C-alpha cells in the first residue's frame, strides 16, 4: 500500500466532502424549513462558478471576484425564490420536483445563451497555485487546503448561526412549527427568502471553489446534485449535523474507493477482473452505503425530530 | 360509452397513431414514422410509470433505468451476435425475456429498499439508484462505456416479425402500446389496482383496514419496471444505438413530465403527454436553438396552473360542453 | 375480550399512557371517558398498533398482540374509526367500503378481474352501507359527503373488516343533534353483536349505552366500573365529571 497516496486521497476525499457539505447544508435547510425539494440547487452551484469566473476576469483579482460572486449568487437565489419557488411550498413533492426540473433546463440554457456553450476556466493566483509541504516531504495542493479550511470555517459559522442566534432559533422553530413562527410576528416570507438566499450563497461558494479544480461548464451541478441528495438522505433530511457527517463520509468513501478499489479487488480476484470491475463498483460505493444505512435507519443517521 | 370531446380526441389520437406510417409514406416523409415511433415507445414507458406514479402515488425518479436495461439487453446481445458470431443472442424473444427478468430483478431490489421510505426520501433514493446504474453502464468499457454500442442489426424474431424496416417496427411498437394500455386498464380496475389506488389515497387507512401495503406496492413497482424494460428493447431497435444516457436521471425526469403533462392517473394521459412532449420539443427546437429557455418555464407554469394535465383540460372541456350542449342529457349516477 | 396490562407510552417528557390496565368483556360497550388530552386517542393507536407502546401487554381474544403489525391486528378482528375523518376521499363511498371488505377477502393479487363488478365485494359493502344508513350515497365521491356522513362511513368501513371488536374514537364529534341520534341508533343496533370500545364526550350517550366505563386522566386509568358506580365515584367526580358539570 502506498501511504503517501492514501494520505493524499484521504485529503482529497475530505475536500470533496467539504464541497458536498456546502451544497447539502443549503439543500437540507431548505427542505427542513420550507419542505421544498429543490432539484435546481445544482444550478445555483453552477451559477456560483460562472459568476466567479466572470467577476475574476473583470476585476483581475481572484479574491475580489470570489467575494463578489457570493452575494451575487445569494441575490440570484433570492430572486428565483420570489419569482418561481414561493408558490411551490404548499405543493406536493412531485410538483416541486417537476417545477425545479424545469428550472434546471432553463438555467442550463440561460448559461449557454450568456456565456456560450464552451466551458470557462478559473485561473488560480500564484499563491494558491502551488503546493504546500505538509510534513516529511509530503506535498499537497495549496488551493485544496484552502477549500478544506473555508469549508470548516463555514460549517462552524453555520453552527453558530443556527444554535446561537435569534435567526437560528427562528430557523429551527420554522422547521418544526411554521404556524408558531408566523404567530410570533415574524415575516415568514422574508425568513424563507433569506434561508433560500443563504442556501444559494453556500451552493455558490461550493461552485466557485470547485471551479478551479474542475471545469466550469453547463450541467456541472447535476452530477454533484445527485451525490448531494445521497448525502442528505444518509444524514437525515433536514439535519445540518447529519449533512456534515454524511458529506465527509460520502466524500471519503467515494474518493478513496475510486483510487484503491482496484488494489483491494486485486487481492481477491485476478487483476483482469479487478481492473474491469473496479470502476463500476467504485462508482456504486456511495449508493451501496446509502442502501445499507437506510436498511437500518430509513430516516437517515440523524432523523429529524418528530418524524 | 358516451361521446364527448375528450373521448373523440382520444379516439382520433389513437386512430391517428394507427395510420402514421401510411400517411408518412403517402406524403413521402418517412421521417415522421421514426418520430412517431419514438413517441409510441416513450408512451409505453410513460404508461408504465403512470401505474406507480399516477395510480399508486409512488414518485419514482428513476424509471428510465428500465429503458436502459431493456436497451442494453438488445445492445449486448446484438454485439455478441455480430462480433462473436453467437447468433441466438440477437433473438428478439430472448432479449425481451432477458429484459423482463433483469428489469423485474432491478425493480425488486430498488423497490424493496426505496419503498421502506416515504415522500422525499423515496424520490431521492429512486433517483440515486438510477444514477448508480447509469454510472455502472458508463464504467463498463466492455459494452461501450460512455460511448455506448451501435447496433449493426435489429433484433431477430425468428422470422415471425421482421422489424428491419421502420414501418413494421412502428406497428410492433403500436401493438405493444395497445397491449400495455389494455394491461393497465385491467390492472387498475382489479383488486390489485383498487389496493394500489387506495394506498395512494390514504395509506394509513389501508393499514388500519388490514392491508399489508408494502408487498403490493413492491409488486406494482416491479410490474411497472418490467413493462418499461420491454419498451427499452423497442427503443434500442428504434435508434439502433444504445448508450448510458438513456438511463440518465434527466431522462427519468422527462418520463415524469410526459406522464404529468398528459394527465396523472388516467389511462390515456401518458400517451397524450408523450406525444405532446415530443411535438413541443420538435416545434420549439425548430424555432430556436435555445428551446429549453422556453420549455423550462413552461413546465413551471404547467405545474402551477394546469394540474390535471392535458387530460384534465379535456375533462374541463367535456363539462363545458355538456353544460352548453342543446340537449340537456343530465345523468345522475 | 381485551386485556390491557400496564401499558406505557411517552412523547418526549409527556406521559400519554401511564401504567394503564383494564379489561373489556365480550359483547360489552365499554366507554373510555376523560378530558381532552387524557390520552384516549393515543390508547386506540396503541391498541391497533399504529402507535408503538413503550411497554406493557395487550391481550386480544386470547392472543398477545403487542408488537404485531397493524394489518395483522386487523386480521385478528380489531377495527377502528378515526376521531378525525380518515377515509379515501377520492373514491366513491361504495369503493371505500368495498376496499375494507376486500382487505379481509383473501389476498389481493388479482390482476385481471374488474373489482367493481365483483359481487362478493360489492354486495357486502352495500349491506354495511345499509347498516349505517348510507346506501343512498353509494355512488358519491366520498370526499363530498357531509361531516355526519363521513362519520357513518367510518363505521361502515370498520364494520366491513368483519371485526370482533370495534374501537370508536369520538364517533359523534362535531355532529348535530339529529345526526347524533342516528349514530346512537347505529350503536344500539350493533350492541351485543360485537364488542365496542367507545370514546365519547357526551355523557348522556355514554351513560345510556355503556356497560362499563374507564376514566382516563393524564394517561392514568383512575377507575373502571359500571356507569352507576362511576357516577358516584368521588375521585372521578373530582377529576373529571365535577369539572364537566361545572362547565355545563
Ligand atoms: N404524535 C404525538 N407526539 C407528541 N405528543 C402527542 C402525540 N400524539 C398525542 N400527543 C399528546 O399526547 C396527549 C394525549 O393526546 P390524545 O391521545 O390525542 O388525547 P385525547 O384523545 O384523550 O384527547 C396530548 O397531550 C397530546 O398533545
Ligand atoms: Mg382524541
Is residue C82 in some structural domain? no
pLDDT of residue A136: 75
Q: Is the pLDDT of residue C246 over 60?
A: no
Ranges in chain A, pLDDT < 70: 1, 173-185, 305-307
Q: CA C66, CA C47: separation in Å to the nearest integer?
A: 8
pLDDT of residue C129: 96
Please check whether residue C46 lies inside any domain of the structure.
Answer: yes
- The pLDDT of residue C44 is 96
Please indicate, yes or no, whether residues C169 and C239 belong to a single structural domain of this protein.
Answer: yes
Ligand 2 centroid to Cα of residue B119, in Å, is: 26
Asked if C183 contacts C149 with a C-beta cutoff of 8 angstroms, the reply is no
Q: Are strands C78-81 and C165-169 parallel, antiparallel or unpaired?
A: parallel
Identify whether the C-beta of residue C101 lies closer than 8 Å to the C-beta of residue C121.
yes
The confidence band for C237, taking pLDDT boundaries of 50, 70 and 90, is confident
B132: pLDDT strictly greater than 80? yes
CA distance B57 to chain C (A): 13
Among the candidates C118, C135, C162, a domain finishes at C162
Instruction: Considering only the beta carbons, identify the residue of A105, A279, A280 that sits closest to B292.
Output: A105
Q: Does C8 have pLDDT greater than 60?
A: yes
Is B261 a residue whose pLDDT tops 90? yes
Number of Cβ within 10 Å of residue A204's Cβ equals 30
Query: How do residues C35-91 score in pLDDT, each as one tens digit?
Result: 999 999 999 999 999 999 999 999 999 999 999 999 999 999 999 999 999 999 999
**C-alpha closest to that of B245 among A222, A37, A254:** A222
Atom of ligand 1 nearest to the CA of C12: 4
Whether chain C has a CB inside 8 Å of the CB on B187: the answer is yes
For residue B118, what pLDDT is reported?
87
Checking if the pLDDT of B29 tops 70, the result is yes
Q: What is the pLDDT of residue A297?
A: 87
Boundaries of domain holding B125: 5-332
Measured CA to CA, the distance from residue B242 to residue B73 in angstroms comes to 10
- Taking only the tens place, the pLDDT of each residue in B147-186 is 999 998 899 898 888 888 999 999 999 999 999 999 999 9
pLDDT given for residue A306 in this prediction: 46
Specify the CATH number for the domain of residue C6. Answer: 3.40.50.300
Q: Work out which ligand 1 atom sits closest to the CA atom of C216.
A: 22
Helix (H, G, I), strand (E, B) or coil at C10: strand
Residue among C90, C108, C160 minimizing CB distance to B216: C108
Better pLDDT: B213 or B330 = B213
For residues C105 and C52, membership in a common domain is answered with no
Sheet bearing C14-24, strands edge to edge: C14-24, C2-11, C55-60, C63-64
CA distance A59 to A68: 10
pLDDT tens-digit series, residues B203-215? 999 999 999 999 9
Residue B220 Cα distances to B69, B191, B231, angstroms: 18, 12, 17
Which of C144, C162, C180 corresponds to the end of one domain? C162
Domain that holds residue C140: 87-162
Question: Distance of alpha carbon C230 from its chain centroid, rounded?
Answer: 21
Domain of B16, CATH number, reads 1.10.3470
pLDDT of residue C247: 42
The preferred substitution site among C18, C38, C39, C171 for testing ligand 1, maximizing ligand atoms within 8 Å of CB, is C39
The Cα of B105 is separated from the nearest Cα of chain A by a number of Å equal to: 16
ipTM for the predicted complex: 0.90
> pLDDT at position A182, please?
65
Burial B62-76, CB ≥16 within 10 A → b, else e: bbbbbbbbbbbbbbb
Nearest to A144 by CA among A260, A7, A281, A296: A7
Q: How many domains does chain C have?
A: 2
Average pLDDT, chain B: 92
C-beta atoms of B209 and C161 within 8 A: yes
For residue C75, list chain B residues with Cβ-Cβ distance below 8 A. 210
Give the chain B residue nearest C74 (alpha carbons): B210
Cα B209 vs. chain centroid, distance in angstroms? 33
CA dist B67 and B52 (Å) reads 16
**Which pLDDT score is estimated for B333?**
40
Residues C85-130: tens digit of each pLDDT: 999 999 999 999 999 999 999 899 999 999 999 999 999 999 999 9
Ligand 2 mean position, distance from CA A178 (Å) = 23
Q: Look at residue B73 and give its three-state secondary structure.
A: helix
Q: Does B204 touch chain C (CB under 8 A)?
A: yes
pLDDT in tens, B80-100: 999 998 888 999 999 999 999
Handedness of CA A256, A262, A268, A274 (dihedral sign): positive
Q: Which of A108, A109, A289, A303 to mutate to test the interface with B (most CBs of B within 10 A)?
A: A109
C152 shares its domain with C113: yes
- Beta-bridge partner residues of C5: C57
Give mean pLDDT, residues B253-278.
96
Name the residue facing B117 among A108, A280, A298 (closest C-beta).
A298
Per cent of chain B over pLDDT 70 is 97
Query: Contact C154/C171 with Cβ under 8 angstroms?
Result: yes
Distance B266 CA to ligand 1 centre (A): 39
- H or E element, residue B194: helix B191-201
**Per-residue confidence at B327, pLDDT binned at 50, 70, 90?**
low
Amino acid at each position: 500500500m502506498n501511504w503517501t497516496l492514501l494520505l493524499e486521497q484521504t485529503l482529497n476525499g475530505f475536500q470533496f466532502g467539504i464541497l458536498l457539505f456546502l451544497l447539502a447544508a443549503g439543500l437540507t435547510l431548505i427542505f427542513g424549513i420550507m419542505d421544498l425539494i429543490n432539484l435546481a440547487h445544482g444550478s445555483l452551484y453552477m451559477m456560483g462558478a460562472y459568476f466567479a469566473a466572470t467577476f475574476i476576469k473583470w476585476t483581475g483579482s481572484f479574491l475580489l471576484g470570489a467575494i463578489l460572486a457570493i452575494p451575487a449568487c445569494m441575490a440570484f437565489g433570492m430572486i428565483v425564490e420570489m419569482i418561481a419557488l414561493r408558490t411551490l411550498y404548499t405543493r406536493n413533492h412531485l410538483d416541486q420536483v417537476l417545477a425545479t426540473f424545469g428550472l434546471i433546463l432553463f438555467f442550463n440554457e440561460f448559461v449557454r445563451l450568456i456565456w456560450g456553450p464552451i466551458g470557462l476556466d478559473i485561473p488560480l493566483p500564484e499563491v494558491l497555485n502551488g503546493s504546500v509541504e505538509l510534513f516529511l516531504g509530503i506535498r499537497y495542493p495549496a488551493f485544496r487546503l484552502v477549500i478544506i479550511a473555508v469549508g470548516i470555517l463555514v460549517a462552524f459559522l453555520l453552527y453558530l448561526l443556527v444554535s446561537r442566534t435569534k435567526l437560528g432559533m427562528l430557523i429551527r422553530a420554522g422547521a418544526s412549527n411554521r404556524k408558531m413562527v408566523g404567530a410570533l410576528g415574524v415575516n415568514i416570507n422574508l425568513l424563507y427568502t433569506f434561508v433560500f438566499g443563504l442556501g444559494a450563497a453556500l451552493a455558490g461558494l461550493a461552485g466557485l471553489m470547485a471551479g478551479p479544480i474542475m471545469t466550469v461548464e453547463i450541467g456541472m451541478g447535476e452530477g454533484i446534485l445527485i451525490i448531494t441528495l445521497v448525502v442528505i438522505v444518509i444524514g437525515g433530511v433536514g439535519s445540518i449535523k447529519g449533512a456534515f457527517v454524511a458529506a465527509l463520509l460520502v466524500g471519503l468513501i467515494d474518493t478513496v474507493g475510486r483510487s484503491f478499489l482496484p488494489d483491494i479487488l486485486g487481492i481477491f480476484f485476478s487483476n483482469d477482473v479487478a481492473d474491469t470491475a473496479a470502476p463500476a463498483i467504485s462508482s456504486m460505493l456511495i449508493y451501496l452505503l446509502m442502501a445499507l444505512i437506510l436498511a437500518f435507519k430509513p430516516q437517515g443517521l440523524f432523523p429529524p425530530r418528530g418524524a | 360509452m358516451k361521446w364527448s370531446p375528450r373521448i373523440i380526441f382520444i379516439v382520433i389520437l389513437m386512430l391517428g397513431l394507427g395510420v402514421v406510417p401510411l400517411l408518412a409514406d403517402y406524403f413521402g416523409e418517412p421521417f415522421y414514422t421514426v418520430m412517431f415511433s419514438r413517441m409510441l415507445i416513450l408512451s409505453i414507458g410513460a404508461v408504465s410509470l403512470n401505474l406507480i406514479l399516477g395510480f399508486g402515488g409512488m414518485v419514482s425518479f428513476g424509471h428510465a433505468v428500465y429503458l436502459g436495461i431493456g436497451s442494453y439487453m438488445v445492445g449486448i446481445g446484438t454485439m455478441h451476435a455480430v462480433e462473436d458470431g453467437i447468433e441466438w443472442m440477437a433473438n428478439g424473444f430472448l432479449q425481451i425475456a432477458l429484459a423482463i427478468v433483469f428489469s423485474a430483478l432491478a425493480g425488486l431490489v430498488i423497490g424493496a429498499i426505496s419503498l421502506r421510505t416515504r415522500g422525499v426520501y423515496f424520490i431521492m433514493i429512486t433517483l440515486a439508484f438510477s444514477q448508480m446504474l447509469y454510472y455502472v453502464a458508463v464504467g463498463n468499457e466492455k459494452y461501450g462505456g460512455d460511448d455506448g454500442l451501435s447496433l449493426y442489426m435489429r433484433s431477430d424474431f425468428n422470422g415471425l416479425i421482421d422489424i428491419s424496416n421502420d414501418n413494421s417496427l412502428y406497428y410492433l411498437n403500436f401493438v405493444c402500446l395497445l397491449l400495455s394500455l389494455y394491461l393497465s386498464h385491467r390492472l387498475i380496475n382489479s383488486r390489485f389496482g383498487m389496493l394500489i389506488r387506495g394506498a395512494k389515497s390514504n395509506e394509513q387507512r389501508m393499514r388500519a383496514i388490514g392491508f399489508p401495503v408494502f408487498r403490493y406496492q413492491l409488486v406494482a413497482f416491479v410490474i411497472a419496471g418490467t413493462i418499461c424494460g420491454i419498451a427499452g428493447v423497442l427503443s434500442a431497435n428504434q435508434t439502433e444505438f444504445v448508450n448510458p444516457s438513456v438511463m440518465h436521471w434527466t431522462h427519468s425526469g422527462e418520463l415524469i413530465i410526459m406522464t404529468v403533462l398528459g394527465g396523472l392517473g388516467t389511462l390515456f394521459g401518458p400517451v397524450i403527454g408523450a406525444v405532446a412532449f415530443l411535438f413541443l420539443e420538435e416545434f420549439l427546437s425548430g424555432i430556436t436553438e435555445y428551446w429549453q429557455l422556453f420549455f423550462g418555464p413552461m413546465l413551471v407554469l404547467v405545474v402551477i396552473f394546469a394540474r390535471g394535465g392535458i387530460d384534465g383540460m379535456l375533462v374541463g372541456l367535456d363539462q363545458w360542453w355538456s353544460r352548453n350542449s342543446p340537449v340537456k342529457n343530465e345523468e345522475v349516477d | 375480550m381485551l386485556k390491557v396490562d400496564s401499558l406505557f407510552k411517552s412523547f418526549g417528557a409527556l406521559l400519554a399512557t401511564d401504567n394503564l390496565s383494564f379489561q373489556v368483556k365480550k359483547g360489552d360497550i365499554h366507554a373510555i371517558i376523560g378530558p381532552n388530552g387524557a390520552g384516549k386517542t393515543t390508547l386506540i393507536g396503541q391498541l391497533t398498533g399504529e402507535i408503538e407502546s413503550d411497554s406493557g401487554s395487550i391481550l386480544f381474544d386470547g392472543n398477545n398482540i403487542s408488537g404485531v403489525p397493524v394489518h395483522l391486528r386487523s386480521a385478528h378482528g380489531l377495527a377502528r374509526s378515526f376521531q378525525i375523518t380518515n377515509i379515501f376521499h377520492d373514491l366513491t363511498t361504495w369503493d371505500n367500503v368495498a376496499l375494507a371488505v376486500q382487505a379481509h377477502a383473501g389476498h389481493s393479487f388479482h390482476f385481471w378481474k374488474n373489482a367493481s363488478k365483483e359481487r362478493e365485494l360489492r354486495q357486502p359493502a352495500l349491506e354495511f352501507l345499509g347498516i349505517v344508513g348510507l346506501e343512498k350515497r353509494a355512488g358519491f365521491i366520498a370526499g363530498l359527503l357531509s361531516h355526519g356522513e363521513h362519520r357513518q362511513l367510518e363505521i361502515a368501513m370498520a364494520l366491513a373488516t368483519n371485526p370482533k371488536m370495534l374501537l370508536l374514537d369520538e364517533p359523534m364529534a362535531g355532529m348535530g343533534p339529529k345526526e347524533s341520534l342516528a349514530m346512537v341508533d347505529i350503536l344500539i343496533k350493533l350492541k351485543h353483536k360485537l364488542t365496542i370500545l367507545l370514546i365519547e364526550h357526551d355523557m348522556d350517550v355514554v351513560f345510556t349505552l355503556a356497560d362499563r366505563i374507564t376514566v382516563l386522566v393524564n394517561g392514568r386509568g383512575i377507575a373502571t366500573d359500571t356507569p352507576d358506580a362511576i357516577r358516584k365515584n368521588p375521585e372521578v367526580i373530582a377529576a373529571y365529571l365535577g369539572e364537566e358539570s361545572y362547565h355545563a
